Amino acid sequence: MISPILPTYARADLSFETGEGAWLTSTDGTRYLDFGGGIAVASLGYAHPHLVEALTQQGRKIWHTSNLFKIPAGERLAQRLVDATFADTVFFTNSGAEAMECAIKMARKYQSASGHPDKYRIITFEGAFHGRTLATIAAGGQQKYLDGFGPKVDGFDQVPFGDHEALKAAIGPQTGAILIEPIQGEGGIRPVPSQCLRGLRALCDEHGLLLIFDEVQTGVGRTGKFFAGELSGVTPDIMAVAKGIGGGFPLGACLATEEAAKGMTAGTHGTTYGGNPLAMAVGNAVLDVVLADGFLDHVEQMGLLLKQRLAEVQDRHPDIVELVRGEGLMLGVKLRVNNGDFAVAARAEHLLVIPAGDNVVRLLPPLVITEADALEAVSRLDATCARMEKDLKHGAKA
Ligand SMILES: *Cc1c(COP(=O)(O)O)cnc(C)c1O
């Protein structure tokens, strides 16, 4: 019999009642160290006092008015994003996929408004993930997400990751934009080298294409920069943001330059909930913390500490860990054993990590982790590796 919840997830038999910082407490009272962060969402950890205060204060005032009226907290949040990035304008959404939908529509509209309605095609990369709507599964191009859902939405041309020649060959008369995650998240924490991003920017400028960054997972401090594009100094024309910007409240945003947004006039796009007063209050509170002096330095330091210590874990367990990669607190551990099994074994050590593509487990802890949290995670990862080694030996005997 089907479960009352549509069974699209194979869920762990575990649920949580409370959380504080990077720690979650399950319904049976066990504490877990959360290095998944609800998939890079709980950027400020659980029950952050400043976020709780912002949400409850706004909750007593007004939750929703619709976008038929001005929302001052939204204007403020948009201005702050504009001030801190390449962008001139922002559209708020409730999720990453919706932010991506806005980005895709905006790129097409830009080309159309520039007299090139035929330039609707967007180049994307193998291993990408951009969401689960019909257009974003077409953009991501992963067969397992496309299967059975009818004709793939037209307009996306996928090229192999890191193949500059294939990319150049894929640019045709109908190409209007290139879409990329500066570091692939679901694909297995695969960073795009800086020189490749600079090459993409140059190609876009040469061919009149828009460069779209999907920073849904990499953004808002995750990599130690406000946005990951800053690591290479490359600015996009359009950028999708979500996950960390809401700190757990559903919030996304599509940022753009004035030029890229020139087709998006009144009536061309919309959302009922996007940018509602509750989301805006929380988004502003997240930025209060992330943009405060020293916060991003803390993320960078914790990232460096973890990377160093993870290299030692790799040295101690070469049969389990193949390599460690990533930036800031977006780290991937590529394994020689099954990544799903590893995540289950980590859970037995009361550590949460998240499997991704390329046989990687992702570490996406709250950005507020302490040094003690980082070292505790490393010790639990060591213990997890030891468990897996035991399994390997038993497997060898059997
Ligand atoms: C999670 C994610 C999305 C989709 O976000 P949703 O909020 O699940 O719709 C899109 N792009 C990237 C890079 C993501 O990590």
Rounded CA separation 107/176 (Å): 7
In sequence order, which residues have a C-beta less than 8 Å from that of residue 104 and are 6 or more positions away?
122, 135, 136, 139, 179, 212
CB contact at 8 A, 14 and 25: no
Per residue in 166-212, pLDDT (tens digit) is 999 999 999 999 999 999 999 999 999 999 999 999 999 999 999 99
pLDDT above 70: residue 397: no
Length of the chain: 398
Which of 98, 133, 179, 216 has the most ligand 1 atoms within 8 A of CB, as the residue to mutate?
216
pLDDT of residue 395: 78
Amino acid at 243: K
The per-residue pLDDT for 398 is 54
Contact 219, 243 (CB under 8 A): yes
Apex 195 CA angle, 190 and 196, nearest 5: 55
Residue having the nearest C-alpha atom to atom 5 of ligand 1: 96
Least confident of 318-322, 337-341, 375-379, 392-396: 392-396
Cα–Cα distance measured from residue 155 to residue 175, given in angstroms and rounded to the nearest whole number: 9
DSSP string, 296-330: HHHHHHHHHHHHHHHHHHHHH-TTTEEEEEEETTE
pLDDT at residue 375 above 60? Answer: yes
Common-topology check for domains 16-34+294-397 and 49-290: no
Q: Is 38 in the pocket of ligand 1 (CB under 6 A)?
A: no
Distance CA(391)–CA(323), nearest Å, equals: 20
Residue 337 CA, ligand 1 centroid: distance in Å: 26
The full set of domain ranges for the chain reads 16-34+294-397, 49-290
The CATH number corresponding to 16-34+294-397 among 3.30.420.10, 3.50.50.60, 3.90.1150.10, 3.40.50.11720 equals 3.90.1150.10
Residue 194 has φ and ψ, to the nearest 5°, of -55, -40
Ligand 1 atom with minimal separation from the 39 CA? 1
List pLDDT tens digits, range 82-104: 999 999 999 999 999 999 999 99
Task: Summarize the confidence of residues 144-167 as an average pLDDT.
Answer: 96
Closest to 328 in 3D by CA, of 312, 346, 311, 305: 305
At the top level of CATH, which class does the domain 49-290 belong to? alpha beta
Residue 100 Cβ contacting ligand 1 at under 6 Å? yes
